[in-house]
Amino acid sequence: MFEHLASSLSGTLVFANIVAMTLSTAAGIMVGALPGLSASMGVALLIPFTFTMDPLTGLLCMAGMYNGAIYGGSIAAILINIPGTPGAVVTTFDGNAMAKKGQGRYALETAVICSTVGGVASALALMFIAPYLAALALKFGPAEYFWISVLGLSTIASFLSGSTVKGLFCAFAGLFVSTVGIDQISGVFRFTFDNMYLMEGFPEIVVLIGLYSIPEVFTMLEDVAAGKTAAASDSELGQTKRKEEKRWTFQNDFKDSIPTWTRSSIIGIIIGIIPGAGSSIAAFISYKEAKRKAKDPESFGKGNVEGVRAAETANNAVTASAMIPMLTFGIPGNVVTAIMVGGLLIHGLHPGPNLFVKEPMIVFGLMWGMLITNFIMLALGYFGSGIFAKCLKIPTVVLAASVAVLSTVGTYSLNNSMFDVYSMLCFGVIGLAMRKMKLPIAPAVLGIILGPLAETELRRALMIADSPVEIFTRPLSFFLFALTLLSLFYPVLKARMGARGNKE
């Protein structure tokens, strides 16, 4: 498989792809830097733009957007103490304190260098782990695939939601929505109510744009109405221009950073592979570890550069490793990769081990893209953080209006259908209701994405099996089933153990 890795590099490094990666990484940094806009929304809005592109170019754009947005979150975190993305929450602890001490530029440089190190380590892990896992996954049968998709859903429902029951409810609702339209196996129309527009079901991207963009637009406008906007002042942005302050230097910072880079990269890569855990969890664990290992733990939270190093290395180390389960098993590790599955599907690519066999140039090209966009991000972030910081001055209200229009045009351009726009708005209202009712959107999204795979594999497994019980009793199926149960009951067990610990 590694001969494809070498040969796909030349296909990746063509002029159009380099331009696409640079523009999308810049757009990603901008999206990440703006509080309210997330990496998942950025990728969802980008997909319609990639529709007319070559599949690899489109995927490289998504890679740039993803990497750029996760790093971009640190800009707002450092300068205005508001995390641009959830993964940058931990960066606010020390990053903003450094900015207040007049070390804003040093913090921004540390953030982009550490993000690059974490991202590169993660991309290398993707390149060297994924081919072996894909070869292993080729030996799986339908029952194993069914259980892997159920495991992916159950872990996200358990770990990403405050309540497992609500998480599972949303996951089942997502699975149900995925059954609308023509049954791919028997040709029966399900839940279409004689509406010809529903015969193909709801396109995944339409649902994703609705669930992620419209609630975000409304929340931004609600914040404007309540006077809670995050516009930066000139003095805060001036941090990026100061010449006399402390800067990142190879002699002073490189050697000190190596232990944190190593530790935080490993944490980020492992967390990225686990479905349901995301960049914010990786950053928290990494920060705690850095504090535990530090000689002066009391200085954390007061502007210790180690805090920024740990958080930024770990949150970007999640990006490529989260693609390992997506590319090898077809199971997305987090929301962004779930949306990327939607991006792959509109190009006619079905993620999973067979993609390594059928389209190796695209799979390995994407891996190169995850690596190369880190270096583009480094150049853009190091030399252009001042320009990206200026985005923080854009009034929230025009940002909200722009996102609403982009959501509309993006949805329309998928099938040139106004019905898709109406569907997107309906899912937007559902997404808003879910947000207000504290129902997690991620399990629903994963249910919609994984539904067709889970259903097809379950039915294939039942057709092959002599008895339905067989889908539980095959050794690997049983192991995956046990893991699913463990992931569902883990929050209950943890709460009980916590309660027992408190009593003692």
Partner 1 sequence: MVQRKQDMIFGFVGIGAALFAMWQSYQYPPDSALFPLLSAAGIFICSLMLLVISGKNKSSSGDEKVEGINIRSALTFGLIVLIYVFSIEKMGFFSSSFLFVLVISMVWGGFGKGVSIRFSLIFAVIFTILLYVTFVKIFTVPLPKGFLL
Strands 181-182 and 189-190: antiparallel
- By CB under 8 A, residue 19 contacts partner 1: no
Closest approach, Cβ 370 to partner 1, in A, equals 24
Q: How far is the CB of 438 from partner 1 (least distance, A)?
A: 7
- Cβ 121 to partner 1 shortest distance, Å: 35
CA distance 290 to 25: 29
- Strand residue runs (E) in 129-278: 181-182, 189-190
Q: Where does this chain touch partner 1 (CB under 8 A) — which range of 30-38, 245-253, 288-296, 420-428?
A: 420-428
Which position among 6, 196, 398, 469 is part of the footprint of partner 1 (CB under 8 A)?
398
- Of the candidates 317, 436, 246, 196, the one whose C-alpha atom is nearest the C-alpha of residue 309 is 317
Q: At 385, phi and psi to the nearest 5?
A: -60, -30
Site for partner 1, residues 344 to 363, rule: CB under 8 A = none
**Tokens 């940002």 found at:** 399
Answer yes or no whether residue 221 interacts with partner 1 by CB under 8 A: yes
> Is 415 a residue that touches partner 1 (CB under 8 A)?
no
Does 412 sit near partner 1 (CB under 8 A)? yes
DSSP 100-144: HTT-HHHHHHHHHHHHHHHHHHHHHHHHHHHHHHHHHHTT--HHH
- If binding is defined by CB under 8 A, does position 488 make contact with partner 1? no
Indicate whether 172 belongs to the interface with partner 1 (CB under 8 A). Answer: yes
On the 0-12 / 13-18 / 19+ scale of CB atoms within 10 A, 494 is exposed
Q: How far is the CB of 28 from partner 1 (least distance, A)?
A: 17
Is the Cβ–Cβ distance between 48 and 75 less than 8 Å?
A: no
CB hemisphere CA count around 171 (13 angstroms) = 26
Q: Find the binder of partner 1 among 228, 293, 393, 438 (CB under 8 A).
A: 438
Of 436 and 494, nearer to partner 1 (C-beta) is 436
Q: Can you tell me which of 166, 242, 288, 347 binds partner 1, judged by CB under 8 A?
A: 166
Calpha distance 424→89 (Å, rounded): 30
Establish if 169 lies at the interface with partner 1 (CB under 8 A).
yes
437 is a site residue for partner 1 (CB under 8 A): yes
Neighbours of 52 (CB within 10 A): 9
Minimum Å distance from CB 463 to partner 1?
A: 9
If the CB atoms of residues 86 and 272 are measured against partner 1, the closer one turns out to be 86
C-alpha–C-alpha distance, residues 251 and 75, integer Å: 24
CB 378 to partner 1: min, Å: 27
> Considering only residues 51, 197, 472, 489, which one is a binding residue for partner 1 as defined by CB under 8 A?
51
144 close to 353: Cβ distance less than 8 angstroms: no
Q: Provide the minimum distance between the beta carbon of 153 and partner 1 in the complex, in angstroms, as a whole number.
A: 10
> Is the CB of residue 181 less than 8 Å from the CB of residue 372?
no
Q: Exactly one of 395, 464, 485, 496 binds partner 1 (CB under 8 A); which one?
A: 395
Which of 98, 99, 113, 112 lies closest to 238, judged by CA? 99
Between CA 245 and CA 105 the distance in angstroms is 8
Tokens of 358: 């059928």
Report d(CA 4, CA 21) in Å as an integer. Answer: 21
In whole angstroms, the minimum distance from the beta carbon of 18 to partner 1 comes to 17
Q: Shortest gap between Cβ of 425 and partner 1 (angstroms)? A: 7
Q: Which is nearer to partner 1, 378 or 454 (CB)?
A: 454
Tokens of 86: 């959830």
Q: Applying CB under 8 A, which part among 104-112, 255-263, 311-319, 415-423 lies near partner 1?
A: 415-423
Helix 104-137 × helix 360-390 angle, to 10° = 160
Least distance (Å) between residue 402 CB and partner 1: 6
Cα(428)–Cα(133) distance, rounded to whole angstroms?
37
Of 39-47, 181-189, 246-254, 306-314, the segment contacting partner 1 by CB under 8 A is 181-189
Q: How far apart are the first and last CA of the chain?
A: 54
- Select the residue interacting with partner 1 from 1, 5, 133, 173 (CB under 8 A): 173
Q: Is 162 in the site for partner 1 (CB under 8 A)?
A: no
Q: 166 vs 350, which CB is nearer to partner 1?
A: 166
Binding-site ranges for partner 1 (CB under 8 A): 49, 51-52, 165-166, 168-169, 171-173, 175-176, 179, 183, 185-186, 188, 190-191, 217-218, 221-222, 224-226, 395, 397-398, 400-402, 404-405, 408-409, 412-413, 416, 418, 421-422, 425, 436-438, 451, 454-455, 458-459, 462
